[in-house]
Chain A
Amino acid sequence: MNSFFKYFSEIFHGVKSLLTGMKVTGRYFFSPGEIVTQQYPENRKTLKMYDRFKGEVIMPHNERNEHRCTGCGICETSCPNGSIEILQAKIDMPDGKKKRIIDKHIYHLSMCTFCGLCIKSCPSDALAWGQEFEHAVFDRAKLTKILNKPGSSIIKDIVE
């Protein structure tokens, strides 16, 4: 008699536990207000990333096509996997001295691990995070970017 009672009580508790779980799923099924899915490619126009989002490394330029990079190369040495290359150039100053300036700031996006050490270590705040995150391209060479725009120059008040 005891085992008979136990048998049915196990069936009862089993069915009860399954119904408890189905109560939760049923509640979500009938309350569409709790849907959290984003319609990603459709909401591209309104999609806004957070301010600190790490999309890619960029070099901000002002409206006169001037940047803050002195070409010192600290970002190149602080990068753990060599995704930054600095090519320097020398120009003649009016007073006869020669001065180093940045020629090309080459950034390999394909090698970047987004650790942020280049941006943190930059003494003149020349680099920043960009919000762009759709990096898919058909050619690998397109992922190598030159961050200083053609014809740009350094802002005058930066002292090395």
Chain B
Amino acid sequence: MKEVINLPVKNIEEEEYHINMGPQHPSTHGVLRLVVSLQGEIVKSLKPHCGYIHRGIEKMCEKDTYPQIIHLTDRMDYLSAHINNHAVCLLVEKALEVEVPERVKYIRTIIDELNRIASHQLWWCSFGMDMGGLTCYFYGLRDREHILDIFEESFGSRLLHSYYTPGGLMMDIHPNFQKGVKDFIKYFRKKIKDYDDILTGNVIMQARTKGVGILSKEDAISYGVTGPSGRASGFACDVRKHDPYGVYDKVDFKEILGTEGDTFTRYMMRMHEMRESMKIIEQLIDNVPAGDYTAKMKAVLKLPAGEYYQRVEASRGELGVYVISDGNKTPYRMKFRSPNFSNLSALDHMSRGVKIADLVAIGGSLDYVIPDIDR
């Protein structure tokens, strides 16, 4: 007679197991590794592992002079390169007590908003692709191309511009710049209706995003989730409104706040923000004052000894630059408070108890850029 051995049989369906999502996964938008603990298809917890694209930008800044630092900040959040440059320029100008010409402030504000629209367009295409709609990707990139053409004509490059310098701009805007921007606004006002038709009203997209990944206002504040993702939870955190820089105090725009805090609200925040950005550009583009494109600056910039902090509203949230200077031409310590890093920290809280397919939707709605997380 055959002997029967009773091994302790584990119930595979109830046991938790771990899978690696990333570092090479299309929906993580870069080299981010998420160790997801799953029970069946339900996400139990999640642990992000950062550092795959760490280049030590903060340390590299310590050997560079202040004008040289600008080109490194391009490489953090490459989709809002101008806004990162703006943060460092504002900090140096604040520390040296330099008053930049009005023309520079107007041009910087216009370019920041163009950069924000371009960034949200790319977010829209990739979010559509995360949801399974490849058509969105082509339509978004097609419209983004118009902004990149304007950038290329004026500053010579498409993604990493290094256009701002402490005290002003690298060169004056191209004579065709204003006409190009006005044509783009006219064009994009028509095309943004297509965005709503294709994705916003789509029943599949709404079913997958409404009520998924809810983040309450209290959690958004305690995790430091800023930008459109924080505003979707009702956290009024727009730096442009509450701590204005450039000419944001002279233009009329709304800080749109959501109430639900789910993935669909985060989606709608960015769609509204593109329209608000167009409104800001329309108010400024005809009123750019004449004048110099840069203030008079010394050849070697030495910040007085002390600590300085400057924050701006990047397209994904609040970007802060903190500098300790010891009076030399290079900073003693430089620290960036990058919006994506704080936004990523809330991903674990938001995605507990959802299906793994919804994790892709939540991650897409947070719109993280990995080089900004790792720096």
Contact = CB atoms under 8 A, between A and B. Distances in A.
A25 interface: yes
Residue from A113, A115, A116 having most chain B Cβ neighbours under 10 A: A115
Interface in B194-229: 194, 197-199, 201-204, 206
Interface in A40-82: 50, 52-54, 78, 80
Contact of B145 (A14, A24, A36): A36
A100 B200 CA distance: 67
Contact of A115 (B162, B198, B202): B162
Interface string B231-249: 0000000000000000000
Contacts of B174: 52
Contacts of B160: 113-114
Interface stretch (A15-23, A86-94, A101-109, A146-154): A15-23
A14 B202 CA distance: 7
B71 A115 contact: yes
A117 interface: yes
Contacts of B99: none
B-side interface mostly: helix
A120 B172 CA distance: 13
A36 to B, nearest CB: 6
A142 B201 CA distance: 53
Nearest to A113: B71
Nearest to B165: A120
Contact of A17 (B71, B153, B162, B201): B201
A13 interface: yes
Interface in B134-189: 135, 142, 145, 152-157, 160, 162, 165, 170-171, 174
A50 B156 contact: yes
A113 B135 CA distance: 33
- Pick from A21, A52, A53 the residue with the most CB of B within 10 Å: A21
Contacts of A14: 203
A110 to B, nearest CB: 16
A24 B156 CA distance: 34
A76 to B, nearest CB: 13
A158 to B, nearest CB: 19
A52 B202 contact: no
Contact of B170 (A24, A53, A116): A116
Contact of B70 (A17, A36, A115): A115
Contacts of A120: 165, 170
Given A13-B203, A17-B202, A80 B64 contact: yes
B158 to A, nearest CB: 10
A54 B157 contact: yes
B30 interface: no
A24 B152 contact: no
A14 B152 CA distance: 42
13 contacts: A13-B203, A17-B201, A17-B203, A17-B206, A18-B204, A20-B201, A21-B201, A24-B194, A78-B67, A78-B68, A80-B72, A115-B70, A116-B156
Name the 6 nearest CB pairs between A and B, nearest first.
A115-B71, A14-B203, A80-B68, A54-B156, A52-B156, A115-B162
Interface of A: 13-14, 17-18, 20-21, 23-25, 36, 50, 52-54, 78, 80, 113-117, 120, 129
Given A50-B156, A116-B162, 15 more contacts: A18-B204, A21-B199, A21-B201, A24-B197, A36-B145, A50-B152, A52-B152, A52-B153, A78-B67, A80-B71, A80-B72, A114-B160, A115-B71, A115-B162, A120-B165
